[in-house]
Chains A and B, each alone.
Chain A
Amino acid sequence: KNEVEQSPQNLTAQEGEFITINCSYSVGISALHWLQQHPGGGIVSLFMLSSGKKKHGRLIATINIQEKHSSLHITASHPRDSAVYICAALYNTDKLIFGTGTRLQVFP
């Protein structure tokens, strides 16, 4: 059983839509990562957060420690946002446990 669960697995949207991807983790962590993976395989770290909320451009990440839940929001989505978004829980030994990812496709 994966200790990190993401939903939805697949998501399609029209350009301009507001997008939310959810992540739940089952045990206490030191931080939660949101990562973006493009078709070639390269992974880019978007956010690392342990509490509250972070914003970078059109991307917003929130985490609720009590509920063991995090969300990634994309405002005014664009076709270039199409990618796989992965959440990963960081445990106190530097070990990352990954979710299975959410495949996002944004159509013009």
Chain B
Amino acid sequence: DAGVTQSPTHLIKTRGQQVTLRCSPKSGHDTVSWYQQALGQGPQFIFQYYEEEERQRGNFPDRFSGHQFPNYSSELNVNALLLGDSALYLCASSLYRNNQPQHFGDGTRLSIL
């Protein structure tokens, strides 16, 4: 039973570029949440997807967008990259509102040069 998988594991981009990160949820899960974790900080909630729609959003600009596919996998897109976007991006999956722990992937480490 595969857990949450994220790709790629590492990524280097330059300012102004665009990036797409991918997440496959744990088998049986239907909800995907994305988090940004800057170095030395706790994760910050970006947004959550359920039934292919964004259900909740944290305090992130519109440069951050996402998508969920019919198979429940998800993408996080970031446009016009800034140096401050350098972080570990974590994906977590769960069953929608069933009050069980979220399962986390190992993250994608994004570095902006």
* B48, A94: Cβ atoms closer than 8 Å: yes
Q: Provided the pairs A93-B56, A98-B42, A98-B43 are in contact, do residues A48 and B90 lie with their beta carbons within 8 angstroms?
A: no
Residues of chain B at interface, number, CB under 8 A: 30
Given contacts A33-B101, A94-B31, whether A42 and B106 have CB atoms under 8 Å apart is: yes
Closest CB pairs A-B (n = 8): A98-B42, A43-B104, A42-B106, A45-B101, A41-B107, A100-B42, A48-B101, A98-B43
**A45 lies within 8 A of B106 (CB):** no
Q: How far is the CB of A8 from chain B (nearest CB, A)?
A: 14
Whether the Cβ atoms of A48 and B88 lie closer than 8 Å is no
* B94 to A, closest residue via Cβ: A94
Verify B44–A94 contact, CB threshold 8 A: no
On B, residues with C-beta under 8 Å from A are: 31, 33, 35, 37, 40-45, 48, 55-56, 58, 88, 90, 92, 94, 96-97, 99-107, 109
**A40 adjacent to chain B (CB < 8 Å):** yes
Chain A residues with CB under 8 Å of B48's CB are: 94-95
What is the interface residue range for chain A against chain B? 20 to 34
Interface residue ranges, A against B (CB under 8 Å): 2, 4, 30-31, 33, 35, 40-45, 48, 86, 88, 90, 93-101
Name the residue of chain B whose CB is nearest to the CB of A94: B97
